């Protein structure tokens, strides 16, 4: 299925613009119903809620995906770092669902709608259809600009990646069927020709791969997956390994530089406090929820 999106915004709370470019797509769940009207109900609630929370998109079993905040702006769903560089998607359902419940007749259509939306956003923002680790999610903000990964995460990963934001959310939960969902996304991405698909992967982190494999021209099937998807999955894993190695080198350089700055500061001795009593260099901010 192709992505179908309906504009229903804006919500009561969001932030115009972003401090940096988009690096990842963040999956959340609403912790509410998963019915055919759940997305509409969520969007309507965001227009009147007073806790400062919003999202970019809602998805439910009936579709289409509902958009309430433009991609170029920040929805308030994942605290400071997650909001700044993430596109937020609220999947109508609960983190407590079992794998079987995520894949049942009520939730599977929701996953299909979400996968089509994610594939669309990947193509629109040059994001590869890969799931980022916690370290990669953090590096999407803190690594050097040329080494900041792009990909797909959930709210729980953002919470672990940026503990300084004080987040506590763990959605979409441990039973979310990532394997099935990512296959759905890959199938949607399969509508892109292979040359463009490879360019998308390579453009994200500057890793230059060896010559790509030969893909079959036909749409033959093997165990329910197109051969194209199997070839692309193999290519993704090889590319991800190369990207991880490059990222490890960059992080090691960043850590060494940070350690050198700390040692230099210790050697220089304490910095006297100014007359007003604040510490020199202090920066405070209140993360958006």
Higher-scoring residue by pLDDT: 188, 74: 74
24, 62 Cβ separation under 8 angstroms: no
Q: Kindly report the pTM of this predicted structure.
A: 0.70
pLDDT classification of 224: cutoffs 50, 70, 90? very low
Which region holds residue 90: left if phi is over 0, alpha if psi is between -120 and 50, else beta? Answer: beta
5, 64 Cβ separation under 8 angstroms: yes
Lowest mean pLDDT across 107-121, 137-151, 209-223? 209-223
152: phi then psi, degrees, rounded to nearest 5: -120, 135
14, 87 Cβ separation under 8 angstroms: no
Q: Of 3.40.80.10, 3.30.230.10, 3.30.2350.10, 3.40.630.30, which CATH number belongs to 5-193? A: 3.40.80.10
The mean pLDDT value for 226-252 works out to 60
Give the total residue count for the chain: 289
The mean pLDDT value for 24-31 works out to 98
Sheet holding 151-154, edge to edge: 5-7, 65-67, 57-59, 86-91, 24-29, 151-154
**pLDDT given for residue 286 in this prediction:** 43
111: phi then psi, degrees, rounded to nearest 5: -65, -40
């Amino acid at each position: 299925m192709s992505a179908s999106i309906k504009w229903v915004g804006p919500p009561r709370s969001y932030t115009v613009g972003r401090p940096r470019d988009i690096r990842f797509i963040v999956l959340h769940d609403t912790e509410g119903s998963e019915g055919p009207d759940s997305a509409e109900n969520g969007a309507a609630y965001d227009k009147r809620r007073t806790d400062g929370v919003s999202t970019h998109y809602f998805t439910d079993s009936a579709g289409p995906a509902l958009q309430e905040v433009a991609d170029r702006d920040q929805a308030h769903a994942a605290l400071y770092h997650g909001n700044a560089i993430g596109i937020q998607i609220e999947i109508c359902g609960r983190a407590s669902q079992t794998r079987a419940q995520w894949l049942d007749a009520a939730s599977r259509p929701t996953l299909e709608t979400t996968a089509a939306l994610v594939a669309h956003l990947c193509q629109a923002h040059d994001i590869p259809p890969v799931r980022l680790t916690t370290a990669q999610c953090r590096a999407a903000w803190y690594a050097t600009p040329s080494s900041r990964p792009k990909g797909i995460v959930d709210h729980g990963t953002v919470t672990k990646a940026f503990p300084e934001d004080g987040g506590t959310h763990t959605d979409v939960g441990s039973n979310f069927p990532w394997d099935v969902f990512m296959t759905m996304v890959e199938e949607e991405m399969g509508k892109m020709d292979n040359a463009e698909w490879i360019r998308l992967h390579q453009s994200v982190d500057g890793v230059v791969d060896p010559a790509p494999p030969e893909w079959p021209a036909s749409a033959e099937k093997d165990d329910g997956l197109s051969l194209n998807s199997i070839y692309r999955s193999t290519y993704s894993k090889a590319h991800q390994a190369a990207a991880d190695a490059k990222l490890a080198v960059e992080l090691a350089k960043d850590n060494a530089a940070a350690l050198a700055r700390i040692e230099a500061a210790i050697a220089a001795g304490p910095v006297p406090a100014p007359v007003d009593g604040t510490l020199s260099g202090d920066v405070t901010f209140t993360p958006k929820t």
